[in-house]
Each structure stands twice: as C-alpha cells, then as structure tokens.
Structure 1
Amino acid sequence: MSIKLVAVDIDGTLLTSKREITPEVFEAIQDAKKAGVKVVIATGRPISGVKQLLKDLKLDQEGDYVVTFNGGLVQETATGKELAATTMSYEDYLDVHQLSLKLGVHMHAISKRGIFTPNRNIGKYTVHESSLVDLPIFYRTPEEMKDRNIIKMMYIDEPALLNRVIEQLPADLYERYTLVKSAPFYLEILPKTTDKGTAILHLAEKLGITPDEIMAIGDEENDRAMLEVAGTPVVMENGNPSVKQIAKHITKSNDQSGVAYAIRKWVLN
C-alpha cells in the first residue's frame, strides 16, 4: 500500500547536527508534497520552535499540519486552527514539582507562551530549551502557576544525574503520565493520553488515511509511539539502538540527509 502521510521528527532526524536542512531533504519533501503525500512535522518542540522550519520547508500552506509538544497539540499550519490539544492540571504541576525537589532535579513547565521554572537558579538546560524553541523563560513559584495552561513538563539536568533520577522515579508516575526521554538531558512528562503516535493517528483518521499508509521517521525514545503505530517505521542511522529494534527500515544519518533517502526509497520509488 502506498504511503500517504510521512511524520518526521526534527532534532536528530530532519536537521543535521548543525541544525540545518540539507538541500536534499528540502527537495525530497517538496517532491513528496507534489506527489500528494502529506509531510507532517512531529516534534517535542512547541509551535514557536517550528514556525521558521515550517516556512523554510513550505509546510506552512493550506492543507499542511504539524504535531508539537510530543503530541500535545495538533494544528493546521496555515491558520493555527487546533485539531487536538491536551493540558495538565495544577495538581499535576504540584506533584511533579514536589518530586523534583525530593530527587534534586531541575524542572520546568511549558505552555504555548513560555517556559516556567520554579528554580531560582535557572538550569542551563532550561536556558538551552528557551533558545532552541524561541520561548521566553519566567521564574514563577508554584503558587503562581495556578492559572497556566501547561501542555508538558520536563525534568532537565546533566545526563548522569537525570539517569539516576529516572531510576528513582516511582512506578505510579508511569501509570499517571507519559514519560519520554527526548535527549540525554531531557525527560518529558505529558498527560497519559499524549504521545506522537496518538496525535498522528488522530490526524490520519481526519484525513482518511490508514496506519498502513503512514511512514514515521525518528531517532529517539519520544518517537517510539509514532514509530509503533506507523505501517512503515524508519529510524535514523544515528538513532537510539533501542528504537532501531522496532524499525522496518534504517535510513542514513541526519548528517547524510537520511530523511531524503527514506522518502525517495520508500515513498517516491
């Protein structure tokens, strides 16, 4: 069955290690669009962190869609109309914050408008995230977070410390939330019903596309859900070894235009 929708992760997948789009990737995406294939960016970033990429790739036009916040938000790129959105409660925030204090790990919460940290000494990875996704940072006490529309929260810290924290997380946290490691220094905490796979299936259903007609391309654990629901899961050569185990195909690395290779070999061929 032919591929009608290609879901593509950004960091470590679409972009090179220098955070660039190669000419080969750009041309392959344009050729896929001309062939009637929906190319959908699916990322952990907020919408502010993908707007320029969507423009550069001409994926900001009528009929284009984007998945952000690791599945927390699905919307039309041209109009901003939301097809699906999830948020987290103030009680969720308090629980995640209290656990961060107990475990000694930096954290922040993200909305469409900013990154909110309770850490007076703002962690360097919160600063990194702000730069990456083009969102301002706000220091706010837990009491000041009551009326925020939080889409996701993150534990962010040095990789070795974060790994130790993950080993200490209580089992009920996994029962209550979706936890995905999107980088060595990022652990993302989302509503239990939120992941890239659920978001892509929701969009595909609206478009009349079946799972067998979906290709997903990714490299990290936060891509696992969409790789598992896609009929054609493709993992980058530079991808996480555990994620490669569920791939139908391994494409070239992000520095070798692996997204372009995958589209041309398994979609347009």
Structure 2
Amino acid sequence: MKRKLIAFDIDGTLLNSQKEALASTKKALERLRNNGHLVMVATGRSRFLAQPVLTELNFHNYIVCNGSAAFLDHKQVYKHLLDQEQLTAFVAEMDQLKIDTAFIGMDAMRRHSDFDVARMDEAMRSFGSHVPKQDVNFKNQQEIYQALAYYDDTYEGFFDEKYPALRFVRWHEKCVDVIPENGSKAATIIHLGETLGIDRSDIITFGDGQNDKEMLAAAGVGVAMGNATADVKDVANFVTASNDEDGIFHALKEFALI
C-alpha cells in the first residue's frame, strides 16, 4: 500500500461535540500508523492549546496556527511569522474601532485589550478554552505566529486590501484568525508533502470548518465531516458521517486504509 499523508483538524473532526475523541477515532489512528501512513494534525490552535489532544492521541506530527508552523516528530520544520509592521498598524486600527485582539506565540497567548470580554469569552469557549490574560507588551516580546480579532461579519473583507501582508480567516461568528497573507493549512500540508516525497494525490485531509476548506480542496482527497457546513461539504471529494457518528473511522474504512 502506498504511503499516505493524512491530516486531521481537531475541533469538530478529531473531537466530537463533547470535545472528546471517540474510541473509533483512536482505533483508526492506531491502525493508520501500523499501516505505515504519516498521520498528522492540522489545526488553527497553537501548539500549547493543541497539546492535550496531541498527547492523548499520540500525534508526533502537527501543523498549528493555521499553517504558520509545522512539526515532524516534535521538531519544528517550518515557521511563518506575521508581518510586524502591518500587524502593528492593524492593531492600532482595532483599538480605534474598540475591537479586541489577541496574539499567539508558540507556547503562550495574550490579549491586547478588553473592550468586550464577553465576546472574547464566547469565542474561546467554543473550543473549550478561556479568555487569555492581558499583556499589552506581548506582541513586541514574542514571535507572533497568529493573531485573533474579535469582530463579526460586519467587517468581513473590510481589511483585506488595507493590510495585504495579513490574511483574515473566520472560524467563529465573532472572531477571525489573522495569519500571514500566503499562509494556510493547505499550503503547509502541500509543502510537507513535497518535502517528504508524498504526491498530492496521496494526501488526505479531514475537516469541518471554514479554515479547513482550502486543505480539503487542495488534497488528493478532501473529506468533510457530516457536521460540516454546506459550503465546506461542497469543496470536499467525500462527505462522511459526523464527528459524533464515527465519521473518521467510516471514511478510512471506505478508503481501505484501515
């Protein structure tokens, strides 16, 4: 059997609606590894927020911060930091608009402001986290892989042309990720495949959210979970059962990979 690179989103994909990994998912991952495939996470979370899942499910390979960093066997092999000049200008505008921002380093996250803590809390709780501590100097003291801007679709597309070095990817109705302009899970997955000599046709991706659309479309086979939104399913090659209904296990069985 030809070796595959198989990448999984975390929230809504590897984890069910109770934020737990199904027994069937754990079994599927073990069988994939035993069959010689490269199994990895591709998440919008930073490494420290992903760590509990990485540890529980025995992942040694992972893409974090929506593609801004990648690790193989726990060693960092890729990083793409945010443009500091444009990030500083963007944050100044957010402050003027009274929109909260937060910054993500590899192992820590801090918020810059506290205009609407309830809005931040709603977004962070959606994946089992909490509002980060405030530190207005954090951005200038750490390598920043990703930022968060807590605004709804009122500002959708509003900042794209103004900050061409930044890219805005919605993951919650009240929050967007801010990542490097040409950064994405998809780009980093394809880059790793090329580095490892794995053809794009042998890359399989699983996801459910807006920040998964590109990696589903770019892979040889993109699998949308049954709980994905309609537009995510539209770009996928295959739609499986939901994250509560053994979707990962069923798809991999269908592909005869486990």
For normalisation by structure 2, the TM-score amounts to: 0.89
User: Is the CA contact (8 Å cut-off) linking 2:44 and 2:64 kept in structure 1?
Assistant: yes
Aligned to 1:209, the other structure's residue is in SS state coil
2:241 maps to a residue whose letter is K
Q: CA deviation at 1:119?
A: 1.1
C-alpha deviations, 1:25-48, integer Å up to 9, x for none?
110111111111111110000111
Determine the structure 1 residue equivalent to 2:49. Answer: 49
Larger helix fraction of residues: 1
- Equivalent residue runs for 1:146-161 within 5 Å: 146-157=140-151
CA apart distance, 1:118? 2.0
Q: What aligned pairs does 1:161-180 form with structure 2 within 5 A after superposition?
A: 162-166=152-156, 169-173=158-162, 175-180=164-169
AA paired with 2:153? N
1:76 has 2:65 as partner: no
Partner residue, 1:15: 15
Structure 2 contact 15–243 (Cα < 8 Å) conserved: yes
Matching of residue 205 in structure 1 with residue 199 in structure 2:
no
Q: Do the aligned partners of residues 208 and 115 (structure 1) sit closer, same or farther apart at CA in structure 2, a change above 3 Å counting?
A: same
Structure 2: tracts of 5 or more residues without a match: none
The alignment's C-alpha RMSD in Å is 2.5
User: Which has the larger displacement, 229-238 or 182-191?
Assistant: 182-191
Is the aligned partner of 1:222 residue 2:211? yes
Query: 1:211 & 1:261 partners in 2: Cα distance?
Result: 22
Give the whole-Å Cα distance in 2 for the aligned partners of 1:131 and 1:164.
Answer: 20
The reply on whether 1:145 has 2:139 as its aligned counterpart is yes
1:91 matched to 2:81? The reply is no
Quote the Cα distance in structure 1 between the aligned partners of 2:3 and 2:225: 18
**Secondary structure of residue in 2 paired with 1:222:** helix
| Greater shift in the superposed pair: 107-116 or 119-128 | 119-128
Q: Is the 8 A contact 2:86 2:166 kept in 1?
A: no
Alignment of 1:223-262 (within 5 A): 223-262=212-251
- 1:66 matched to which residue of 2? 62
| Deviation readout 1:88-115 (Å, 9 max, x if unpaired) | 2332321221232344422111112322
TM-score by length of 1: 0.86
Please say if residues 108 and 118 of structure 1, whose CA atoms lie closer than 8 Å, have aligned partners that are also in contact.
yes
Looking at structure 2, the residues matched to 2 and 101 of structure 1 have their Cα atoms a distance apart, in angstroms, of 51
2:21 counterpart letter in structure 1: I
Indicate conservation of the 8 Å contact 1:183/1:220, yes or no.
no
Structure 1 residue 154, shift from structure 2 partner: 1.1
Conserved? CA contact 2:44–2:67, under 8 Å = yes
- Structure 1 residues 129 and 190 mapped into 2: Cα distance closer, same or farther (>3 Å)? same
1:245 match: secondary structure: helix
Q: Give the letter for the 1:7 counterpart.
A: A
Instruction: Give the Cα–Cα distance (whole angstroms) in 1 for the partners of residues 140 and 13 of structure 2.
Output: 36
Q: What secondary structure does 2:161 align onto? A: helix
Q: Is the alpha carbon distance of 1:153 and 1:132 closer, same or farther for their aligned partners in structure 2, counting shifts above 3 Å? A: same
Q: Which amino acid aligns with 1:170?
A: F
Residues 32 and 131 of structure 1: is their aligned pair in 2 closer, same or farther, counting only changes over 3 Å? same
Query: Which amino acid letter does the alignment assign opposite residue 108 of structure 2?
Result: G
Match of 2:177 among 173, 183, 188: 188
Asked if the contact 1:108–1:126 (Cα under 8 Å) also holds between the matched residues in 2, the reply is no
Structure 1 residues without counterparts, runs of 5 or longer: none
